[in-house]
Amino acid sequence: MKIAVLSGKGGTGKTTVSTNLAKVMNWDYVDCDVEEPNGFIFLKPNVLKTKKVNVPIPKIDDEKCINCKKCVEICQFNALAGTNTGIILFEKLCHSCGACELVCPVDAITEEERSIGKIDIGQSEDIKCMRGVLDVGEPMAVPIIKELKSLIDEKPTIIDCSPGSSCSVVSAIEGVDYAVLVTEPTAFGLHDLKIAVSLVKEMKIPFGVIINRAEEENDLITRYCKEEGIYLLGKIAFDRKAAVLYSQGKLLIEDEVFRKGFEEIGRKIEGVKRCN
């Protein structure tokens, strides 16, 4: 069972929800927001193992290369450029697809590994925690997310996704059993929630919504969910205490009221799990 926590936009409390839920439900936690992985700040795992994430990039043997530029032509990402004296690779543009190697008529292209980031694996009490960290200056997060996901085992796991709805989020939620969409009761929150909803609908992932920083009973998100027949998993109250705990890098469930709230949401998710 894998559950992804996402939001149309950053800053809605996605990491707050994922880390607190992981803790109350005793599920493993995976931070796929590899551009800004913050979950470890709150779960404070002991990092037991770190591994590099490598991607293959072409290596061109100048001795063999006849400068036919077939590789330059096939590369769809402009990662290769032909000069009079040989082929140049712009490694950050390379998508590691292997097409250049396939078209080279004289087998001048082989592959070598290049590191773009790392994966940390640790333990926070009973919970296994993993996170991907993209190196600064590296554009492509997806290979790290894919590798992270390949390391997830059979245990129930919460996946914290990156904000937005781009390719990083698509690869983070690919194959999950359920999605938890976190939003805020503002017009912006609703705007971004709708984006997240269409993404999970397109990918045919069942989902529910959590409203963070909720103040009123009948806010615009609650109304939207009712109209659209979307399951509301719960609300997290707007409370200065939450902001203070968060700023100190603490989990909200240190507070009794918040703990009860997350336990309730956790039970609902367990219920969803049984239905699936």
Partner 1 sequence: MQLVVISGKGGTGKTTVAASLAYLSEKSIKVDCDVDASNLHILLQGKDIEEENFFGAKVANIDSNKCIKCGACEKVCRYDAIKNYQVDPLKCEGCAACTVVCEQNAILLKDEVTGKTIITQTNKGLLSRADMVIGAEGSGKLVTKVRKNAMAHRKNNEWIILDGTPGIGCAVMASVTGCDAALIVVEPTQSGLEDFLRVLSLINFFGVKPFVCINKYDINEDMTIEIEKYCKEEGIDVLGKIPFDPCVKEAVNALKPIVSYKESKASKEIIKIWNKLKEIYKEDV
User: Which residues contact partner 1 (rule: CB under 8 A)?
Assistant: 8-12, 15, 35-36, 38, 41, 74, 76-77, 95-99, 102-103, 134, 136-141, 162-170, 174, 186-188, 191-192, 195, 198-199, 202-203, 243-244, 246-249
- Binding partner of 94, given ligand SF4, partner 1, none, CB within 5-8 angstroms per partner class: ligand SF4
58 binding partner (options partner 1, ligand SF4, none; Cβ < 5 to 8 Å by kind)? ligand SF4
Residue 220, amino acid: L
166 binds, among partner 1, ligand SF4, none (CB under 5 to 8 A by kind): partner 1
User: 111 vs 264, which CB is nearer to ligand SF4?
Assistant: 111
CA distances from 138 to 34, 62, 175 (A): 11, 27, 26
Closer residue to ligand SF4 (CB): 77 or 231? 77
In whole angstroms, the minimum distance from the beta carbon of 97 to ligand SF4 comes to 4
* Per-residue binding letters, 2-41, with ligand SF4 (x by CB under 6 A): ----------------------------------------
Which position among 44, 59, 69, 95 is part of the footprint of ligand SF4 (CB under 6 A)? 95
HSE, CB side, 13 Å, CA atoms: give it for residue 34: 31
Distance CA 17, CA 22 (A): 8
Residue 102 touches which member of ligand SF4, partner 1, none, C-beta under 5-8 Å by kind: partner 1
Contacts to ligand SF4 by CB under 6 A: 58, 74-75, 77, 79-80, 94-100
